[in-house]
Amino acid sequence: MIPDNLHIGPIPIHVFGICLALAFLAAGKVASLEFERRGWDPDAASRALVYAAAGGIIGSRLWVVFESFGDFLTHPLEYLLTGKGFVFYGGLAGGAAAVTLLFRRTGIRWLAGADAVAPAIVMGQAIGRIGCQLSGDGDWGVETKLPWGMAYPYAVVGWPYAPGVRVHPTPVYETILYLIIFAILWRMRRRSPPEGTIFGWYLILSATARFFVEFLRIEPVIAFGLTSAQLTGLVLVPIGVALVRRQRTWQTAAA
């Protein structure tokens, strides 16, 4: 990681913010390429990016308020006016709702549109986690003696451990996993599978990756020994499986 002390004159430039902007730009480029390949207006991908960004920010804030409602009531301005409270699954839900409006306006079928943006979403996740790693926003894992363990002495949230302590660099793990998932989905789209298949596999693979990484992260347990992200994954994976199986069933019946 690097110190988060960049400035342009008196204006602070946060490393995580830079990576978040790069994540949206990369996701927009990936979506634009796929929209063009499908014969859709590439400009619609740019509009989808704006919709997803707005919906994602709102959704992520609402998610973290719901998760930490007591703390929100005590310190509401921290959640509403600062960078605190960006939760991916909340952003995914908010972004999906916002992009659905765009799909309806442009006449794009929802599952077809979801397939087109799925590789873009996971690319954005991969780059976003680089921002978590560089800024040290608290997404690291538990202590470890493994040779690739890391310390985050310049973490923006503060580094609570004594000198010499190393932890799992879980943002790095997630970046690697999401890039692998991107490669799988990007290759899959060339075979033109039934609508909903690519998005279904995105849900399965990304939720499964996050589920197992959560065992190494320091996150509060919500129920059944699992974190909120793991419980959400237990919902998303069956949805993804249902999409993949349903589309295969329709394809077989049509044949």
Domains of the chain, by residue range, sit at 118-249
Q: What is the 3-state secondary structure (H, E, C) of 202-239?
A: HHHHHHHHHHHHHHHECCCEEECCEEHHHHHHHHHHHH
Share of the chain above pLDDT 70, in %: 77
Best mean pLDDT range from 48-62, 96-110, 161-175: 161-175
Q: What pLDDT does 84 receive?
A: 46
Question: Measured between alpha carbons, how far is residue 50 from residues 102, 105, 189 in Å?
Answer: 10, 14, 24
Angle formed at CA 30 by CA 95 and CA 99, multiple of 5 degrees: 20
Total residues found in the chain within this entry: 255
Residue 228, C-beta contacts closer than 8 angstroms, at least 6 positions apart: 67, 89, 219, 220, 222
Q: What pLDDT does 156 receive?
A: 82
Q: What pLDDT does 24 receive?
A: 84
Compare 14 and 231 and report the one with higher pLDDT.
231
Burial, 26: exposed, middle or buried (Cβ in 10 Å; 0-12, 13-18, 19+)? middle
DSSP line for 3-58? -S-EEETTEEE-HHHHHHHHHHHHHHHHHHHHHHHTTS-HHHHHHHHHHHHHHHHH
**Closest alpha carbon to 89 in 239, 244, 197, 245:** 239
pLDDT band for position 158 (50/70/90)? confident
Residue 105, C-beta contacts closer than 8 angstroms, at least 6 positions apart: none
Q: What is the pTM of this model?
A: 0.82
**Closest alpha carbon to 83 in 151, 20, 9:** 20
pLDDT band for position 1 (50/70/90)? low
Burial, 17: exposed, middle or buried (Cβ in 10 Å; 0-12, 13-18, 19+)? middle
